[in-house]
Chain A
């Protein structure tokens, strides 16, 4: 079983590398001279999608072997869920790719999936047993459907981003230019998080603080990055470790805040470095990739993925969620923060559809809505778990 578990990790690693290679090929495909940048056959793109599919199969292998090794669907903690979300994103991309054959989607969808998978592996990766509340077939049914729905919706973000990169006139300083850059900047922050966490994992940095928690009791907080902020009445107990004097109130999880600060710092440095080296904003840097993009097609891909994703999300995030909640928690709805944010996501996409269908919000506006929608999904996936802990806060 332990062997199977390590095979599983290897398969995930292989998938990661393959996605990386496939991204390069997709980038090559839109650079190629003969390329019309839309549909049709293109040798680079054929290789790229083939590698993507092999990568997907490898990740599927990770999923299945981990399932066998643990005896339950590997969807029970943040690492497993976010990894699965990344896998569904790839699956959604493959499906949309075969409908529209828009190669440029790969150039953006794959890196985002890579970022998500890398992000997930920053959380504890141990195979953990299921607590009683999670011992239900509905765990797999509900969580996998939610992830699939959110992943399909995320494709509309990818299409929207591509749309905006081409559509927004970067020469003019304005709100759109600013916010587009802000969206890309936030992706760099994620890179910053991954860089900071990986460095700490490699160097094995660790420090502990004794402190007073919200209940007024003594507690220990573990840090994996040098402490820029310390917990309420925090006292460094590990020797030779850095501790700043900045103390947080008890309700703030100082160790997590510390990680956030580090991520933003490292991300900002990375961002400033790229600006210094290339002397251009990231939007401007990416724009050549989308020069030949058919805006109309991107708009349709975006709308279509919302149309396909919305019912799937409703099924997983609301219907199955309610069924399981009725069985596990005695009531189908309980205003738990995670539930509320699923409702918010659902209402948001309902508003998106109404604006689009009845009020003609197409093109640019629709693309911005897709970006906001993805931000909401990510907020629910990341922030609600880490900041607003409710019943859903996994391990």
Chain B
């Protein structure tokens, strides 16, 4: 490694721009750069600015560039916006086929959207790659800077070379140095809570250095967050299941390996009532109609004590708990959410067996539509046998009744009716609004006697063991941003020259207004004018429309 020896005798590592000891510019390049650019990392050697030989160097330099980082961010945000033009596939009903949905609704634009894969943009490989690139960039850019910065700030010298002082944005040369003025400035800065270091009549006052670590702290938080988000894909960390549970039903909670069961005691929907609830709501209720007030499943959590999976005989009640929107029911890393419901599902139907001629009626009997029995005995002589049950009857195919699902949306039954007249039974097919006697005219028929309905709750079962990592990342991020944004790193140098004069300069990483105010306070009692902000002066010189000094400043990547 080639080292650079400064005029002051200090030996600096390769790549250093400002001497670590006295602050002289070490290269002509550094001399020509704007002060704010050199000062950003204290003129320290950074890996990315020093090596560019191997592939590793090139990758390192690529990702450590803020220019690249900003491009990655801008591309990601533009891509994210694309994903909101049409609804993402996860928001369209699962009953719709995406390949026709987009074209049907949005025409050619929709078709292109679908073909390009924008309908599932946030899960696309290239979107995830962008996020990964941002993550990599954050890590490398931070490492590239934080270590040199830490070293530079730790080894700061009090006395700097005059050229260093002159290059600062806030700088003034005073013809006379007096120890009285010096101590007044010192006290003034101390009152502003600067930490003071003094050496042979020279001064370094500094405050808020910790704010320089803000970006690195917040980037650490972001990385922790991203790691947390990746951990979701580790088996066992994340459960996302749906369960539909009927009133009165007990069922195993999916995702819990049959360890936990849930019993629904009932589902309730409430709406606001213009009379009962606050009067002021009346106008809205009149305008938009009924407004939902509450969706609630009253549930009992049960736990299987022992026995094999699927065996629900050894259930012990753990807790009774309502599940409402915004009030999930939490237990053992799991949470149950009220997300959906179906009202008025058929629960049971009841019938009477009627002798057509006499009108004599036997029964009634009730069929539980989720657990129908094989046979219903009505009295000593009359009984009904259930030969076939089609809960979601959709029609006949080759003479066979069809039921595409086990949900009792449209129950149909094939019965055999036994009576003293017909000890071998008569066959009847019964569905809603349908009464068939497939094997010829019967003497008996079933008459519909009533139906009971019940509600079904749609619950989401969630376990997410990554949450605490995400929360940790988020908290660290917040601490970091606040640290970097609400505090600034301000420094003031006072140097006694050999000619008996005094140089004062100041630097801050942001908020120059605040630094100027500090200096104003420190200089009020000295009788001297406060040090000047060169930038401010330059700016006042240029007339309106001419302040283009920020052109071509993109020197530090």
Alpha-carbon separation in the docked complex, A296 to B541 (Å)? 12
Would you give the shortest CB distance from B126 to chain A, in whole angstroms?
16
Q: Mark A122-165, 1 if CB is under 8 A from B, else 0.
A: 00101111011101100000000000000000000000000000
- Determine if B513 is an interface residue (Cβ-Cβ < 8 Å): yes
Q: Which A positions have Cβ atoms within 8 angstroms of B?
A: 1-2, 5, 69-71, 100, 124, 126-129, 131-133, 135-136, 166-169, 171, 214, 251, 291, 294-297, 300, 303-304, 307-308, 310-311, 314-315, 318-319, 322, 326-332, 334-337, 340-341, 343-344, 347-348, 350-351, 354-355, 357-365, 384, 388, 390, 395
Q: Which residue of chain A has its CB nearest to the CB of B107?
A: A249
Would you give the shortest CB distance from A181 to chain B, in whole angstroms?
15
* CB-CB under 8 A for A358 and B40, given A2-B280, A129-B293, A311-B481: yes
Whether the pair A361, B73 counts as a contact (CB closer than 8 A) is no
Residues in chain A near residue B280, CB distance under 8 A: 1-2, 5, 69-70, 127
Contact of A331 among B81, B324, B462 (CB under 8 A): B462
Q: Which residue of chain A has its CB nearest to the CB of B554?
A: A359
Contact of B291 among A131, A294, A318 (CB under 8 A): A131
Would you give the shortest CB distance from A58 to chain B, in whole angstroms?
20
Q: Please indicate which of the listed interface residues B84, B295, B509, B536 has the most CB atoms of chain A within 10 Å of its own CB.
A: B84
Q: Which B positions have Cβ atoms within 8 angstroms of A?
A: 34, 36-37, 40, 66-67, 69-70, 73-74, 76-77, 80-81, 83-84, 87-88, 90-91, 105-106, 122, 240, 272, 277-281, 283-285, 287-288, 291-295, 324-326, 328, 335, 337, 339, 460, 462, 464, 467, 470, 474, 477-478, 481-482, 485-486, 509-513, 535-536, 539-540, 544-550, 553-557
Give 9 CB contacts A-B under 8 Å. A5-B280, A128-B288, A129-B281, A132-B292, A132-B324, A167-B545, A297-B513, A330-B337, A359-B554
Whether the pair B547, A354 counts as a contact (CB closer than 8 A) is no
Residues in chain B near residue A297, CB distance under 8 A: 513
Residues in chain B near residue A351, CB distance under 8 A: 70, 73-74, 77
Q: Which residue of chain A has its CB nearest to the CB of B460?
A: A330
Whether the pair B485, A126 counts as a contact (CB closer than 8 A) is no
Would you give the shortest CB distance from B458 to chain A, in whole angstroms?
11
Whether the pair B328, A330 counts as a contact (CB closer than 8 A) is yes
Would you give the shortest CB distance from B125 to chain A, in whole angstroms?
16
Q: Please indicate which of the listed interface residues A171, A330, A340, A365 has the most CB atoms of chain B within 10 Å of its own CB.
A: A330
Contact of A314 among B87, B464, B481 (CB under 8 A): B481
Residues in chain A near residue B73, CB distance under 8 A: 347, 350-351, 354
* CB-CB under 8 A for A340 and B83, given A310-B481, A311-B486: yes
Whether the pair B67, A359 counts as a contact (CB closer than 8 A) is yes
Whether the pair B339, A303 counts as a contact (CB closer than 8 A) is no
Whether the pair B478, A129 counts as a contact (CB closer than 8 A) is no
Residues in chain A near residue B281, CB distance under 8 A: 70, 126-129
Alpha-carbon separation in the docked complex, A296 to B539 (Å)? 7
Contact of A354 among B69, B486, B545 (CB under 8 A): B69
Q: Which residue of chain B has its CB nearest to the CB of A291?
A: B544
Would you give the shortest CB distance from A245 to chain B, in whole angstroms?
21
Alpha-carbon separation in the docked complex, A360 to B485 (Å)? 17
Whether the pair A360, B553 counts as a contact (CB closer than 8 A) is yes
Q: Which residue of chain B has its CB nearest to the CB of A138?
A: B326
Q: Which residue of chain B has its CB nearest to the CB of A389?
A: B87
Residues in chain A near residue B70, CB distance under 8 A: 351, 354-355, 359
Residues in chain A near residue B339, CB distance under 8 A: 330
Whether the pair B325, A135 counts as a contact (CB closer than 8 A) is yes
Alpha-carbon separation in the docked complex, A365 to B467 (Å)? 39
Residues in chain A near residue B485, CB distance under 8 A: 307-308, 310-311
Whether the pair A129, B284 counts as a contact (CB closer than 8 A) is yes
Residues in chain B near residue A135, CB distance under 8 A: 325-326
Would you give the shortest CB distance from B435 to chain A, in whole angstroms?
33
Residues in chain A near residue B535, CB distance under 8 A: 296
Residues in chain B near residue A337, CB distance under 8 A: 84
Would you give the shortest CB distance from B340 to chain A, in whole angstroms?
11
Q: Please indicate which of the listed interface residues A308, A328, A359 has the most CB atoms of chain B within 10 Å of its own CB.
A: A359
Residues in chain A near residue B105, CB distance under 8 A: 214, 251
Residues in chain A near residue B76, CB distance under 8 A: 347
Residues in chain A near residue B337, CB distance under 8 A: 329-330
Contact of A357 among B106, B510, B549, B553 (CB under 8 A): B510
Whether the pair A363, B81 counts as a contact (CB closer than 8 A) is no
Contact of B550 among A314, A328, A341, A362 (CB under 8 A): A362
Whether the pair A359, B481 counts as a contact (CB closer than 8 A) is no
Q: Which residue of chain B has its CB nearest to the CB of A69?
A: B280
Q: Please indicate which of the listed interface residues B122, B510, B548 has the most CB atoms of chain A within 10 Å of its own CB.
A: B510
Whether the pair A388, B536 counts as a contact (CB closer than 8 A) is no
Alpha-carbon separation in the docked complex, A244 to B76 (Å)? 42
Whether the pair A314, B34 counts as a contact (CB closer than 8 A) is no
Residues in chain B near residue A388, CB distance under 8 A: 84
Would you give the shortest CB distance from B485 to chain A, in whole angstroms?
4
Alpha-carbon separation in the docked complex, A126 to B460 (Å)? 33
Alpha-carbon separation in the docked complex, A297 to B517 (Å)? 13
Alpha-carbon separation in the docked complex, A189 to B396 (Å)? 62
Residues in chain A near residue B553, CB distance under 8 A: 359-362
Q: Which residue of chain B has its CB nearest to the CB of A301?
A: B513
Residues in chain A near residue B88, CB distance under 8 A: 335
Alpha-carbon separation in the docked complex, A166 to B547 (Å)? 10
Known contacts A322-B470, A340-B81, A365-B550; can you find 17 more A-B pairs with CB under 8 A?
Answer: A69-B280, A70-B278, A70-B281, A128-B281, A129-B284, A133-B326, A167-B547, A300-B512, A322-B474, A327-B326, A327-B328, A330-B337, A336-B91, A340-B80, A360-B34, A360-B37, A384-B84
Residues in chain B near residue A335, CB distance under 8 A: 83, 88, 90, 122
Whether the pair B66, A319 counts as a contact (CB closer than 8 A) is no
Whether the pair A344, B80 counts as a contact (CB closer than 8 A) is yes
Contact of A360 among B36, B83, B294, B547 (CB under 8 A): B36
Whether the pair A359, B556 counts as a contact (CB closer than 8 A) is yes
Residues in chain B near residue A311, CB distance under 8 A: 478, 481-482, 485-486
Contact of B278 among A71, A136, A307, A362 (CB under 8 A): A71
Alpha-carbon separation in the docked complex, A362 to B380 (Å)? 97
Residues in chain B near residue A334, CB distance under 8 A: 90
